[in-house]
Amino acid sequence: MIIVCQIFLKNTKINGITLFPFIFLRNSEDRRNKVLINHEKIHLRQQMELLVVFFYIAYIAEYYYWLFRLKDPYQAYKSISFEREAYEKENDLKYLKKRKIWSFWKYYSKIK
Protein backbone atom coordinates (compact mmCIF):
# COMPACT_ATOMS: atom_id res chain seq x y z
CA MET A 1 0.00 0.00 0.00
CA ILE A 2 1.32 3.43 -0.95
CA ILE A 3 0.77 6.31 1.47
CA VAL A 4 1.63 9.95 0.85
CA CYS A 5 2.86 11.33 4.14
CA GLN A 6 4.35 14.78 3.79
CA ILE A 7 4.58 15.41 7.53
CA PHE A 8 6.54 12.20 8.20
CA LEU A 9 9.13 12.94 5.49
CA LYS A 10 8.89 16.75 5.40
CA ASN A 11 12.27 17.65 6.89
CA THR A 12 14.23 14.89 5.20
CA LYS A 13 15.87 14.33 1.82
CA ILE A 14 13.90 11.09 1.55
CA ASN A 15 11.38 10.84 -1.31
CA GLY A 16 10.20 7.39 -0.31
CA ILE A 17 10.67 4.81 2.41
CA THR A 18 9.36 1.29 2.82
CA LEU A 19 8.24 0.12 6.23
CA PHE A 20 6.57 -3.21 5.63
CA PRO A 21 3.86 -3.40 4.33
CA PHE A 22 3.70 0.29 3.42
CA ILE A 23 5.52 2.56 1.01
CA PHE A 24 5.55 6.14 2.28
CA LEU A 25 6.07 8.94 -0.23
CA ARG A 26 6.79 12.60 0.47
CA ASN A 27 5.00 13.96 -2.61
CA SER A 28 1.75 12.78 -4.15
CA GLU A 29 3.18 13.16 -7.67
CA ASP A 30 5.72 10.44 -6.79
CA ARG A 31 2.88 7.91 -7.05
CA ARG A 32 3.53 8.14 -10.80
CA ASN A 33 7.32 7.76 -10.45
CA LYS A 34 7.66 4.16 -11.61
CA VAL A 35 11.38 3.99 -10.86
CA LEU A 36 10.95 5.17 -7.26
CA ILE A 37 8.00 2.80 -6.71
CA ASN A 38 9.99 -0.09 -8.20
CA HIS A 39 12.94 0.73 -5.90
CA GLU A 40 10.64 0.62 -2.87
CA LYS A 41 8.93 -2.58 -4.05
CA ILE A 42 12.34 -4.23 -4.23
CA HIS A 43 12.74 -3.32 -0.55
CA LEU A 44 9.32 -4.85 0.19
CA ARG A 45 10.49 -8.12 -1.36
CA GLN A 46 13.75 -8.02 0.61
CA GLN A 47 11.83 -7.40 3.82
CA MET A 48 9.49 -10.33 3.18
CA GLU A 49 12.42 -12.64 2.47
CA LEU A 50 14.02 -11.79 5.79
CA LEU A 51 10.74 -11.89 7.72
CA VAL A 52 10.82 -8.10 8.16
CA VAL A 53 12.56 -7.92 11.54
CA PHE A 54 15.75 -9.58 10.30
CA PHE A 55 15.80 -7.16 7.37
CA TYR A 56 15.86 -4.19 9.73
CA ILE A 57 18.51 -5.77 11.94
CA ALA A 58 20.73 -6.52 8.93
CA TYR A 59 20.07 -3.10 7.37
CA ILE A 60 21.03 -1.18 10.51
CA ALA A 61 24.06 -3.40 11.23
CA GLU A 62 25.31 -3.02 7.69
CA TYR A 63 24.77 0.74 7.74
CA TYR A 64 26.87 1.12 10.88
CA TYR A 65 29.54 -1.22 9.49
CA TRP A 66 29.87 0.98 6.40
CA LEU A 67 29.67 4.19 8.41
CA PHE A 68 32.56 3.00 10.57
CA ARG A 69 34.60 2.09 7.48
CA LEU A 70 33.73 5.04 5.24
CA LYS A 71 33.10 7.82 7.78
CA ASP A 72 30.40 9.23 5.46
CA PRO A 73 26.67 8.71 6.21
CA TYR A 74 25.56 9.02 2.59
CA GLN A 75 28.22 6.64 1.28
CA ALA A 76 27.40 4.22 4.10
CA TYR A 77 23.74 4.27 3.04
CA LYS A 78 24.63 3.73 -0.63
CA SER A 79 26.92 0.81 0.33
CA ILE A 80 24.22 -1.24 2.06
CA SER A 81 23.62 -4.40 0.05
CA PHE A 82 19.85 -3.90 0.03
CA GLU A 83 20.28 -0.40 -1.38
CA ARG A 84 22.83 -1.54 -3.95
CA GLU A 85 20.39 -4.08 -5.33
CA ALA A 86 17.50 -1.61 -5.32
CA TYR A 87 19.49 1.17 -7.01
CA GLU A 88 21.03 -1.17 -9.58
CA LYS A 89 17.69 -2.70 -10.55
CA GLU A 90 15.24 0.19 -10.02
CA ASN A 91 15.08 1.03 -13.74
CA ASP A 92 14.25 -2.56 -14.69
CA LEU A 93 10.49 -2.47 -14.15
CA LYS A 94 10.25 -6.22 -14.83
CA TYR A 95 12.97 -7.12 -12.33
CA LEU A 96 10.67 -8.36 -9.58
CA LYS A 97 9.02 -10.83 -11.96
CA LYS A 98 12.36 -12.52 -12.69
CA ARG A 99 14.20 -11.84 -9.42
CA LYS A 100 15.41 -14.92 -7.57
CA ILE A 101 14.91 -15.25 -3.83
CA TRP A 102 17.58 -13.57 -1.69
CA SER A 103 19.13 -11.81 -4.68
CA PHE A 104 20.43 -9.13 -2.34
CA TRP A 105 22.93 -11.70 -1.03
CA LYS A 106 25.26 -11.30 -4.02
CA TYR A 107 25.64 -7.61 -3.16
CA TYR A 108 27.28 -8.47 0.17
CA SER A 109 30.37 -9.66 -1.65
CA LYS A 110 30.69 -6.55 -3.80
CA ILE A 111 32.87 -3.97 -2.15
CA LYS A 112 32.56 -0.45 -3.48
DSSP string computed for 8-57 = HHTTSS-SEEEETTEEEESSGGGGG-HHHHHHHHHHHHHHHHTTTHHHHH
Structural domain count, the chain: 1
pLDDT of residue 9: 81
Range of the domain at 64: 2-107
Q: Name the band, by pLDDT with cuts 50, 70 and 90, for residue 68.
A: very high
pLDDT of residue 8: 79
- Which burial class, exposed, middle or buried, applies to 107 when counting CB atoms under 10 A from its CB (0-12, 13-18, 19+)? middle
Is 26 domain-assigned? yes
Q: What is the mean pLDDT of residues 40-48?
A: 98
**Contact by Cβ (8 Å): 20, 52:** yes
Residue 109 has pLDDT above 70, yes or no: no
Is 112 domain-assigned? no
Residue 55 has pLDDT above 90, yes or no: yes
Above pLDDT 90, what percent of the chain?
81
pLDDT of residue 5: 82
More confident residue, 111 or 11: 11
Report the chain's mean pLDDT, rounded to a whole number: 93
Q: What angle do CA 4, 75, 9 make, to 5 degrees?
A: 15
pLDDT of residue 112: 54
